[in-house]
Amino acid sequence: MRQTMPTPRRLVVAISGASGAVYGVRLLQRLRETAGIETHLVVSDAGWHNLQHELAMERAAVEALADQLHDIRDVGASLASGSFQCSGMVVAPCSMRTLAAVAHGLADNLITRAADVMLKERRRLLLMVRESPLSLVHLRNMVSVTEAGAIVCPPLPAFYLRPQSVDDIVDHSVARALDLLDIPHALATRWEGLSHALR
Ligand SMILES: Cc1cc2nc3c(=O)[nH]c(=O)nc-3n(C[C@H](O)[C@H](O)[C@H](O)COP(=O)(O)O)c2cc1C
């Protein structure tokens, strides 16, 4: 008999060392505003570096956004086991190094192990990959993780919504990620048809 998910719904949020730490932070902020969600955060060493460099955020401020922070080296943490009930995981942003490790099942730290668990347990795994341009190695790794069941969702701006600020651009990608996780949100980032847009 399949077990039901616990209430609140648990989600793993990982921040790796690609540019775009703001995506992970904004996701955590939106999830914090959503009732019934319990977030488990893992940040890689390079992720901490970029949080500090791009957003000038200290560990304590990031930690305060999550229900629980896990050490990247703690491969014995709850999330490292398939028996830990959770509905999904987002890596935001996802570096090419972390993508490669997930694509090859390395499970060499808590982010890549938790992602490996998502794949083996057939749970939702979103990889908000960020790099440009993309090499054939990157593209092949994206194919591999997609074949294994992950969703590759690069945080790309959508100009049809006429973003007015960097916040709008970030919110758009975060909204798409929340949609993919079946998490309700009130971010005004939906296309309602050309006739509406021309009004
Ligand atoms: C300022 C800065 C920006 C970076 N941006 C990217 C990026 O956009 N994509 C990427 O794949 N790696 C990027 N890197 C390199 C990664 O941080 C590096 O490959 C690191 O080993 C990734 O480790 P992780 O996957 O464990 O976080 C960046 C590094 C720095 C210092």
Query: Does 173 score more than 90 pLDDT?
Result: yes
Q: Which two tokens stand for residue 27?
A: 């996701």
Say what the pLDDT of residue 187 is.
Answer: 83
> Does 2 reside within a domain?
no
Query: Does 28 score more than 70 pLDDT?
Result: yes
* Most ligand 1 atoms within 8 A of CB, residue of 52, 95, 110, 139 to mutate: 95
Say what the pLDDT of residue 175 is.
Answer: 95
Give the residue numbers spanning the domain of 172: 9-191
> Does 196 reside within a domain?
no
Query: Does 3 score more than 60 pLDDT?
Result: no
Say what the pLDDT of residue 1 is.
Answer: 46
The residue that leads in pLDDT, 6 or 56, is 56
Full-model pTM: 0.95
Which residues does ligand 1 sit against, CB inside 6 Å? 16-19, 44, 46-47, 49-50, 53, 95-98, 130-131
Rounded to 5°, the CA angle 100-101-107 comes to 165
Query: Does 116 score more than 80 pLDDT?
Result: yes
> Does 199 reside within a domain?
no
Count of domains in the chain?
1
Q: How many of the other CB atoms lie within 10 Å of CB of 186?
A: 9
> Does 169 reside within a domain?
yes
Sheet strand arrangement including 124-129: 68-70, 37-43, 9-15, 88-94, 124-129, 151-152
Say what the pLDDT of residue 120 is.
Answer: 98
CATH number at residue 123: 3.40.50.1950
> Does 3 reside within a domain?
no
